[in-house]
Chains A and B, each alone.
Chain A
Amino acid sequence: KNQVEQSPQSLIILEGKNCTLQCNYTVSPFSNLRWYKQDTGRGPVSLTIMTFSENTKSNGRYTATLDADTKQSSLHITASQLSDSASYICVVSAYDSNYQLIWGAGTKLIIKP
């Protein structure tokens, strides 16, 4: 069964600190992996999208990594800011006879001043 699991479920860190969020997937055949940021009560906003051949991708203070062999991805946030408080969602797409997007449940990140 295609699944995406994220950890931790929630995380609290102090402003200015770095953090890393994890995403493990059992999706086949893999097509691409995306990270989204979702503020409370808002729609998700795309941070990165990576294909099989990409190991790392950055978007400002956000850096995503992908290990297609171990089926793991991480999202690293550098020098966190209060505005980084949000849920971060990992999404993996698969294509077989049809395509599907498998959404993780997200990691809720809280940045404290």
Chain B
Amino acid sequence: KAGVTQTPRYLIKTRGQQVTLSCSPISGHRSVSWYQQTPGQGLQFLFEYFSETQRNKGNFPGRFSGRQFSNSRSEMNVSTLELGDSALYLCASSLSGSYGNEQFFGPGTRLTVL
């Protein structure tokens, strides 16, 4: 079974631009969660989608948004990029939700904002 894939793996943007990251979960998994990880920080939860609906949301500004498609693939969008958005963005998939279920993480997208 193929694992979680994220594209692109690396991205360089400038302040003020917007970016879209993509995540394809493991086949059969219906839940996708997104996390931000900065150096020295724990993973910060962004949001979770299940069957195309946002089920849970972390404490991030509205510049961070996401969506999930009918095939469970998910995208995350960040508008008006700031220097502080530079981070590793991780996507995790699970069968029916991160609560009580094992999450499988992708390799991440390394975003650098200049």
A interacts with B: yes
Interface of A is mostly: strand
> Residue B70 at the A interface, CB < 8 A?
no
Closest CB in chain B relative to A88 CB, distance in Å: 12
> Residue B96 at the A interface, CB < 8 A?
no
Which chain A residues border B107 with CB–CB below 8 Å? 41-43
Question: Which residue numbers of A lie inside 8 Å of B, CB to CB?
Answer: 4, 31-32, 41-46, 49, 89, 93, 95, 98-101, 103-106
Interface of B is mostly: loop
> Residue B81 at the A interface, CB < 8 A?
no
Question: Which residue numbers of B lie inside 8 Å of A, CB to CB?
Answer: 4, 40-45, 56, 88, 90, 92, 98-100, 102-108, 110
Check if B90 sits within 8 Å of A43, measured CB to CB. yes
Which chain B residues border A41 with CB–CB below 8 Å? 88, 107-108, 110
- Alpha-carbon distance between A98 and B54 when the two chains are bound, in angstroms: 13
Which chain A residues border B104 with CB–CB below 8 Å? 46
Taking a contact as CB atoms closer than 8 A, the residue among A31, A46, A89, A104 that contacts B102 in the complex is: A46
- Alpha-carbon distance between A4 and B44 when the two chains are bound, in angstroms: 13
Which chain A residues border B41 with CB–CB below 8 Å? 105
Which chain B residues border A49 with CB–CB below 8 Å? 102
Some 22 contacts from A to B, beta carbons below 8 A apart, are A31-B99, A32-B100, A41-B88, A41-B107, A42-B108, A43-B90, A43-B105, A44-B105, A46-B102, A46-B104, A89-B42, A89-B43, A93-B99, A93-B100, A99-B98, A100-B45, A101-B98, A103-B44, A103-B45, A105-B40, A105-B41, A106-B42
